[in-house]
Amino acid sequence: MRRNRHIGVHLPESVPGRKDALGTLLELCRTRASAEPDRKGFGFLGDGYEESDALTLGELDRIARAIAVTLRRQAHTARARALLSYPPGLDFHVAFWGCLYAGLIPVPVAPLDGTRGNVKWTRVESIAGSSDARLFLSTRSALDAAEPVLAAADGLARLTRVATDEVCLDLAEQWTPPVANGEMVAYLQYSSGSTGLPKGVAVTHANVLHNLSLIHDSTSRPADEAGLPRPPSVSWLPLHHNMGLISSVLDPLFSGRDVTLLPTMTFVQRPLTWLRAISALGRADSCAPNFAFDLCVRRITDVQRQDLDLSRWEMALVGGEPVRADTLSRFSEVFARTGFRRQALCPGYGLAESTVMVSAGPVGAGPVVLRLDAESLAAGTARIADGRRESRELVGCGRIHRLSTVVAVDPSTGKPRGEDEVGEILVSGPSVATGYWDAPGETAETFSASLPDLPGERFLRTGDLGFLHDGQLFVTGRAKDVIIIAGANHYPQDIEATVEACHPAVREMGACAVAVDDGVRERLVVLVETTDPPTEEVKREIRRAVHAKHRIQVHEVVLLEPGTLPLTTTGKLQRRNSRDRYLGGSFETARLE
């Protein structure tokens, strides 16, 4: 077990810019803009195909300074919080840096439209209240479209609106640097809400800089040793979520790479656009959640694949949600004809409470997959399956960085577990945030775990279960989602995968497994969205498949219309919300044929 060492963060040797220690994100952006002002660091494909906007590093710095002068005049106080709600494009980038240049705290939120029934409004109102925001930043067109609802929403009407695309650029000359240091909060990253109400993670400048360094080290590759710069990247990830914010706004500056962005919905509707952009670049990196690779397999045809060349896709980082071995295998097999190499797949693990990344890599080695005995894993021990018993495949989420400590502990006693023993994952290191914004109780519960062997060291309780094996971190599931029946642990995502595969009427990614206490024991309930008219046969097949694969009885199968199960804004299933709605009787079941 390693103690953490807090050291200064420097730009990588291959990245132009001064090499003394960076203290704040402001120093990072100013250093890079000074070193390469004419470098086109950011490009945006508005339709997913043709570049419609671009930013050089010098332009980013100048526009951010002009925005900063404007924001200071509007905020009237240092460290004020500003909601950033932007449609796809590069306006978010300059607004985010403009807040930092002004000494304000940016709070990224989802882009809004003028539809009051949109669930995003409730979430944004909640974030505005939690952060006590003063400003609401967006483009003029987006503000005009949203104004009727902004004015009618109690939690948002009080906010001062600022259209950052209307700022006079001559104001840049009036800018003066704000007071800032590494321990100050740089931004608030609100959680996705998949396990409860959104909470604002207070991420400091030092947290981000250390995590950027961790990401760079963890994704090292042989090309680094040859002196090659990091390849450009492609991203469609939403910028208001931590994975998109880091990979598309912050990491390009630190790693010295360029980034091509396209709208999230463009990818969802036409996933081919993502792979076409990668193919066009040649040597490239890109990261995405597990579902994106599944979507490409399902939606991209044989004819469309003929025009792709993915042979130089150097790192395909998979994270943000559980990584499935079958997804990686299907994608590798289907896209092998485009030159894609399975070795490019690089699973990782992270969470907003640790800025973004905890573990990943090494790049170029391919994913590490273990086939484990299902019964032993349910009892809390990872043992290689012998081929005669039910098994479960788990994907390794990378190695632990030398400046971080990751340990699995018994959730009930807090005692460390051994190699191959499942426990709650605890993380310590300079990337771990200070806590939740204005939430001392939740902060103490989540960010103040300790270990007897490391007195005085503060650990983050991730809420995830997993184990360490041969230096790799393996994640088995969320602690609060685990279904415990007859003393054995069953992971809902495994049951859901079985349900989705058992009958063609079950909608893809349309199953939710939850545990319900009937007063005597825990029972398994499966909520299922169906694409075809539901029948009793579907229910019977679901019960049969779950019992055959997992050796447990399904107490009830509830068939639902497509689109019924609640999801987060990034498409993650909200199991706790689903369970509450089931218990409250608010699900409208589909009518059986």
Domain end marker among 246, 263, 280: 263
Residues 461 and 509 in one domain: no
**Per-residue confidence band for 570, with pLDDT thresholds at 50, 70 and 90:** low
Other C-beta atoms lying within 10 Å of the C-beta of residue 353: 27
**Per-residue confidence band for 194, with pLDDT thresholds at 50, 70 and 90:** very low
Closest to 4 in 3D by CA, of 419, 243, 354, 246: 354
* pLDDT value at residue 571: 67
Residues 440 and 510 in one domain: no
Residue percentage of the chain with pLDDT more than 70: 95
* pLDDT value at residue 323: 92
Average of pLDDT values for 119-130? 87
Amino acid at 128: A
Which run of H or of E encompasses 74?
helix 57-75
pLDDT surpasses 50 at 565: yes
Domain end marker among 420, 449, 479: 479
Q: Across all residues in the chain, what is the average pLDDT?
A: 91
3-state class (DSSP) for residue 432: coil
Q: Measured between alpha carbons, how far is residue 460 from residues 157, 350, 351, 440 in Å?
A: 36, 12, 11, 14
Q: 480-501 pLDDT, tens per residue?
A: 887 877 666 787 888 988 998 8
Average of pLDDT values for 438-454? 93
pLDDT surpasses 60 at 296: yes
| 8 A C-beta contact, residue 260 and residue 233 | yes
Average of pLDDT values for 358-373? 95
Angle between helices 57-75 and 25-35 (to 10 degrees): 140
503 is a domain residue: yes
Residues 58 and 140 in one domain: yes
Distance CA(172)–CA(168), nearest Å, equals 8
Closest to 289 in 3D by CA, of 236, 338, 362: 236
DSSP strand E in 330-453: where? Answer: 345-350, 357-360, 369-373, 391-400, 405-409, 423-428, 435-436, 449-451
Look up tokens 């098994």; give the residue. Answer: 391
Residues 499 and 577 in one domain: yes
CATH code, domain with 456: 2.30.38.10
Collect contacts of 363-368 with beta carbons under 8 A, ≥24 apart: 363/219, 363/220, 363/221, 363/314, 363/315, 364/221, 364/222, 364/314, 366/342, 367/318, 367/323, 367/325, 367/328, 367/342, 367/395, 367/396, 368/395, 368/396, 368/472
406 is a domain residue: yes
Which run of H or of E encompasses 514?
strand 506-517
394 is a domain residue: yes
For the ranges 56-70, 401-415, 438-452, 579-593, the lowest mean pLDDT is seen at: 579-593
415 is a domain residue: yes
The pTM (predicted TM-score) of the whole model is 0.88
Q: 28-42 pLDDT, tens per residue?
A: 999 999 999 999 999
CATH code, domain with 238: 3.40.50.12780
Sequence-ordered list of residues with C-beta below 8 angstroms from that of 493, at least 6 positions apart, any chain: 322, 477
DSSP strand E in 175-257: where? Answer: 185-190, 200-204, 233-235
Other C-beta atoms lying within 10 Å of the C-beta of residue 469: 18
Residues 467 and 532 in one domain: no
pLDDT surpasses 50 at 264: yes
Amino acid at 270: R
254 is a domain residue: yes
* pLDDT value at residue 3: 44
360-262-134 Cα angle (round to 5) = 85
100 alpha carbon, distance to own chain's centre: 22
Residues 473 and 514 in one domain: no
Residues 123 and 255 in one domain: yes
* pLDDT value at residue 195: 46
Residues 474 and 493 in one domain: no
Residues 144 and 168 in one domain: yes
Residues 573 and 457 in one domain: no
361 is a domain residue: no
- pLDDT, greater one: 308 or 412: 308
Residue 574: domain span = 485-584
Look up tokens 């990261």; give the residue. Answer: 287
- pLDDT, greater one: 507 or 213: 213
Amino acid at 65: R
15 is a domain residue: no
Average of pLDDT values for 107-118? 80
Domain end marker among 438, 463, 479: 479
CATH code, domain with 512: 3.30.300.30
Other C-beta atoms lying within 10 Å of the C-beta of residue 512: 26
Residues 465 and 499 in one domain: no
333 is a domain residue: no
Residues 90 and 220 in one domain: yes
Give the count of domains, the chain: 3
3-state class (DSSP) for residue 318: strand
Distance CA(156)–CA(121), nearest Å, equals 9
| 8 A C-beta contact, residue 91 and residue 143 | no
